[in-house]
Amino acid sequence: MGTHRSAILKHPIQQHPDHDLTVDGPNLAAQAIRAGLVDDYRLFITTSVVGGGTRFFPDGVRLDLDLVEERSFSGSGVIYARYRARA
């Protein structure tokens, strides 16, 4: 299954706490997830299977997430899912 990783940070590290900071890409996002800086996850899931690649969530990290939004795009097979980390 193909996925696109996007994470929203809400943390004192931000210069402007009223705005979200988006982290994208498998390496930078994995570091932010491991550090506990991510509280919102936005996934675009496709129907392609490639048989390998970078895992969506980094190894050794346990997350409790709540599904807060979902959407499917008719005819494309793409699903959007938004999760929020439990406090």
Domain count, the chain: 1
What does the buried/exposed string (b/e) look like for 32-71 if buried means 16 or more CB atoms within 10 Å of the residue's CB? Answer: bbeeebbbbbbbebeeeeeeeeeebebeeeeeeeeeeeee
- Residue 77 pLDDT level (bands cut at 50, 70, 90): confident
User: At CA 20, angle to CA 77 and CA 58, rounded to 5?
Assistant: 60
Domain CATH for 79: 3.40.430.10
> What contacts 6, CB < 8 A, 6 or more positions away?
22, 23, 24, 29, 41, 42, 43, 44
- Reported as a single tens digit per residue, the pLDDT across 59-71 is 889 999 999 999 9
Categorize the per-residue pLDDT at 23 as very low, low, confident or very high, splitting at 50, 70 and 90.
Answer: confident
What pLDDT is attached to residue 38?
Answer: 87
Q: How far is CA 62 from CA 15, 26, 35, 83, in A?
A: 28, 17, 12, 14
The pTM of the full predicted model, rounded to 2 decimals, is 0.70
Q: What is the pLDDT of residue 45?
A: 87
- Domain extent at residue 41: 3-85
The pLDDT tens digits of the residues spanning 38-59 come to 888 988 888 777 777 777 788 8
